[in-house]
Chain A
Amino acid sequence: MSSSAVLETDGLGKRYGSKWALRDCSLAIPAGSVTALVGPNGAGKTTLLQLAVGLSEPSAGSVHVLGRSPRAESHSVLPAVGFVAQEHPLYRGFTVAETLKLGRKLNPGWDEAVAIERVERLSLPLDQKVGKLSGGQQAQVALTLALAKRPELLVLDEPIASLDPLARREFLQSVMAVVAETGTTVVLSSHIVADLERVCDHLVILALGRTQLVGPIDEILASHRLLTGPRTDAEAVARVHEVIREEHTERQTTLLVRANGHVYDSRWQLNEVDLEEIVLAYLGHRGSAPMSHETFREAMTG
């Protein structure tokens, strides 16, 4: 339990009927970090984030935001949390100005200057109905609503999934600008890995309702290696290192490992591996049903 954790879960689980959407999830998101929560659709990302903002209640374990329970102590947690739900729901019949007025009325800590500055910079039309805006503009309005609360924790559920590449880039730039300016802790979920590396410094991989990997991205990149060598079984390597994925062709074996210290065997050729590759490997790891590489790639790119 680190005292600087903004979001902390311990054995957290959520069950809908007899099906566990999230199970045994323990993680701590340090203050000031920007954490990407990745995993295929149905992995439990939304469940985890809704638990974090108090939209649903844990079936097992606990979740704490700033040391408090988001559901039981929502009156003190909500003002400190900015949340943009999946598909950024907004009142479509409201104008942009009315949407901001709603934020002002419902949030005592509302910072009108933040809202106005963003609306002007993004040239969002104040008199336009929100339902008439483009998807990218709607996402920006939703983000503005969350940011003008001046939250300590910003939670974004699949913020870029429905956006075109340009809007995606603009949205992530907005998030980065806020982080640079305010040091807000950010957790954002995505099934798209490609753009996240530039924005995020921490990674949580979620698959089949369980966390597969949690940690700072630079450590993750430093500890994972791709080993290529003559065909052999992975047993010897697995005694020392954690083998995440093994692939065999007729003549050679490729292992993606989480290296436990240095790999000393000269038979193996060591290569660095990029984040997307690591994520893909983990999604096929640990008890998950075997899936082809292509299926993962599809899942990851939507």
Chain B
Amino acid sequence: MIWVGWRLQRTEVLIAAAIVALLAALLVPTGVEIASTYHRDGLSACLGQNTSDGCNQAIDAFTSQFDRLRSLIAWFTLVPGLTGVLLAAPFVLELEHGTYRLAWTQSITRRRWIVSKLGLSIAAALLVALGLTLLETWWHAPFVHLEGRMDNSVFDSEGTVIFGYTLFALGLATAVGAVWRRAVPALVVAFAGYFAARIFVDTWLRQRLVTPLSVTWPVLVRDHGGPRKGGEPASLNHAWVISENPSDRFGHPVSVLAGFCSKAQVISGNCLPHKASGYMHVVYEPASRFWLLQGLETAMFGGIALVLIGFAVWWAHERI
């Protein structure tokens, strides 16, 4: 059965491996460049809380240099969905082409066939997820040193979530395909479902999984202006800032001149009206919650994936 299972899905597994190799071909050279720039500019010396203006300029230069590359790499967050649905294809094709009637009338039981076939898909999906996670974690490392890993673009490609995402896409495609028995439409629908679920979690659900913390601190405006990082509480270091609202010194909310302020300017209070002193209120998830949020999200996607795969097994076993 192992030989048969491998022979039946080696094409898809090899394509998935080729996708990972393709990403590696893009990530490895650029990652090497990023890492060497990081070391050349001596940015590791700038990791403290209160840093010099020279450091801030160096960090700004560094991040803006790789800005476009990073927004390109951010799209790689679709790859778990792509490889997940791809690895579901052999199972769905079996149903579409009717070859399950051949497979299920050999001497092994239908249950064993389904379990070993999907087991192989799951194993391949986990391997692909491992490759993606290792590559992206290494690639993001210099940025993580500077900015932490709570931002969506990094959070989505580190830790354990990629395993959950890949399994979710695999499970969704398997379940839809088991019922529909048409590979192409099932995979397209599953990929769209993956995309929608990810957007929903990234933009709405994740910040509600664990009640965020909030912090308020007085903002002091320096007379000669200029952005500065000082004044921000240490708990916000590398944190995921969900919302930030300035108020005047009586606690009444004031509106920042939205669109004109950089984050640094807002934090330093330079965008407050009349350069008055006041307070900044920030709602955030601290960097220390990285693994908690990773665990929750991985369990959520992974759990739904197992339910979907279980449904597909049941459907194929009882309803076909």
Measured CB to CB, the nearest residue on chain B to A50 is B101
**Residues B96-110 near A (CB distance < 8 A):** 97-99, 101-110
A90 touches B109 (CB 8 A): no
Q: How far is the CA of A282 from the CA of B110 in the complex (A)?
A: 37
Interchain CB contact (< 8 A) of A85 among B4, B7, B8, B102: B102
A-chain residues with CB within 8 Å of residue B108 when the two chains form the complex? 78, 106
Asked whether, in the complex, the Cβ of B104 is within 8 Å of the Cβ of A87, the reply is no
What class of interface size applies to chain A in its complex with B?
Answer: 20 to 34
Query: Nearest CB to that of B110 among chain A residues?
Result: A74
Interface string of A70-113 (1 = CB under 8 A from B): 00001100110101010101111110001001110111110000
Contacts of A23 in B (CB 8 A): none
- Are B98 and A87 in touch, CB under 8 angstroms? yes
Q: Is B98's CB under 8 angstroms from A79's CB? A: no
Q: Which residue of chain A is the closest to B102 with respect to CB atoms?
A: A89
B interface size (C-beta, 8 A): 20
Q: Which residue of chain B is the closest to A109 with respect to CB atoms?
A: B107
Does B1 sit within 8 A of A, measured CB to CB?
yes
- B: residues with CB less than 8 A from A are 1, 3-4, 7-8, 11, 97-99, 101-110, 318
The answer to whether A105 touches B3 (Cβ under 8 A) is: yes
Contact indicator B107/A79 (Cβ below 8 Å): yes
A53–B105 contact, CB under 8 A?
yes
Are A91 and B8 CB-contacts (below 8 A) given A55-B101, A85-B98, A105-B1? Answer: yes
- Could you say which of B3, B101, B103, B110 contacts A101, with CB atoms under 8 Å apart? B3
With both chains docked as a complex, state the minimum distance between the C-beta of A5 and any C-beta of chain B, in angstroms: 20
Please state if B97 and A89 are interface contacts (CB–CB under 8 Å): yes
* Residue A224 is within 8 A (CB to CB) of chain B in the complex: no
B166 to chain A, nearest CB (A): 25
Knowing A74-B109, A79-B107 touch, does A89 contact B8 (C-beta < 8 A)?
A: no
Partner of A107, one of B3, B11, B107, B110: B107
Which chain A residue lies CB-closest to B3? A105
Chain B contacts for A81, CB-based, 8 A = 105
Contact yes or no, A106 B110, CB < 8 A: no
Instruction: For the complex formed, measure the closest distance between the CB of A254 and the CB atoms of chain B, giving whole angstroms.
Output: 43
Q: Is A245 among interface residues, defined by CB-CB distance under 8 A?
A: no
User: Is there an interface contact between A55 and B106, defined as CB atoms closer than 8 Å?
Assistant: no
Q: Give 17 A-B contacts (CB < 8 Å), ordered by A residue.
A: A50-B101, A55-B101, A55-B104, A55-B105, A57-B318, A78-B106, A87-B98, A89-B98, A91-B8, A94-B7, A101-B3, A102-B4, A102-B106, A103-B106, A106-B108, A108-B107, A149-B106
4 nearest interchain CB pairs? A106-B106, A85-B101, A83-B105, A79-B107
The CA of A92 and the CA of B1, in the complex, are separated in Å by 18
With a cutoff of 8 Å between Cβ atoms, the chain A residues found around residue B8 in the complex are 91
Residue interface mask A44-55, B partner, CB < 8 A = 1: 000000100111
B95 → A minimal CB distance (Å): 11
The minimal Cβ–Cβ distance linking A224 to chain B, given in whole angstroms, is 35
Q: Are A90 and B102 in contact (CB under 8 A)?
A: yes
A-B contact count (CB 8 A): 62
* Chain B residues whose C-beta falls within 8 Å of the C-beta of A75 in the assembled complex: 109
Q: How far is the CB of A227 from chain B (nearest CB, A)?
A: 45
**Chain A residues in the interface with B (C-beta under 8 A):** 50, 53-55, 57, 74-75, 78-79, 81, 83, 85, 87, 89-94, 98, 101-103, 105-109, 142, 145, 149
Q: Are A149's CB and B107's CB within 8 A?
A: yes
- List chain A residues, Cβ under 8 A from B97: 89, 92
A78 cross-chain contacts in B, Cβ below 8 A: 105-109
Other contacts beyond A83-B105, A106-B1: 18, CB < 8 A: A54-B104, A55-B101, A55-B105, A74-B110, A78-B105, A78-B108, A81-B105, A83-B101, A85-B101, A89-B98, A90-B99, A92-B97, A93-B11, A98-B7, A103-B106, A105-B4, A107-B106, A149-B106
Provide the bound-state CA to CA distance between A75 and B108, in Å: 6
Most buried by B among A50, A85, A101, A106: A106
Chain B nearest CB, measured from A6 CB (Å): 16
A77 vs chain B, min Cβ distance (A): 10
- Is A106 a contact of B7 with CB atoms below 8 Å? no
* Given contacts A102-B4, A102-B7, A105-B4, A89 and B99 within 8 Å (CB-CB): yes
Asked if B107 and A91 sit within 8 Å, CB to CB, the answer is no
**Whole-angstrom distance between the alpha carbons of A251 and B174 in the complex?**
67
Chain A proximity of B109: nearest CB distance (Å)? 5
CA distance A107 to B107 in the complex (A): 5
CA of A109 to CA of B155 in the docked complex: distance in angstroms?
53
B267 to chain A, nearest CB (A): 60
Residues of chain B contacted by A89 (CB below 8 angstroms): 97-99, 101-102
What separation, in Å, do the CA atoms of A53 and B100 have in the docked complex?
A: 13
For B10, give the chain A residue with the smallest CB separation: A93
Q: Chain B residues with Cβ under 8 A from A79's Cβ?
A: 107
What is the bound-complex CA distance between A55 and B100, given in angstroms? 9
CA distance A66 to B240 in the complex (A): 67
> Complex: how many Å from CA A83 to CA B105?
7
Q: How long is the Cα–Cα vector from A103 to B7 in the complex, in angstroms?
A: 13
Q: For residue B99, which residues in chain A have a CB less than 8 angstroms away from its CB?
A: 89-91
- A103 to chain B: which residues have CB within 8 Å? 106
| Set of chain B residues within 8 Å of A92, measured between Cβ atoms | 97
Complex formed: what's the CA distance from A103 to B107 in Å?
Answer: 9
Q: Measured between C-beta atoms, what is the minimum distance from B91 to chain A in Å?
A: 14
Among A74, A79, A107, A142, the most chain B Cβ lie within 10 Å of the Cβ of A74
In the complex, chain A residues whose CB is within 8 Å of the CB of B3: 101, 105
Chain A residues whose C-beta falls within 8 Å of the C-beta of B103 in the assembled complex: 106
Using Cβ atoms and an 8 Å threshold, which residues of chain A touch B11?
93
Residues in A with CB closer than 8 Å to B4 are 102, 105-106
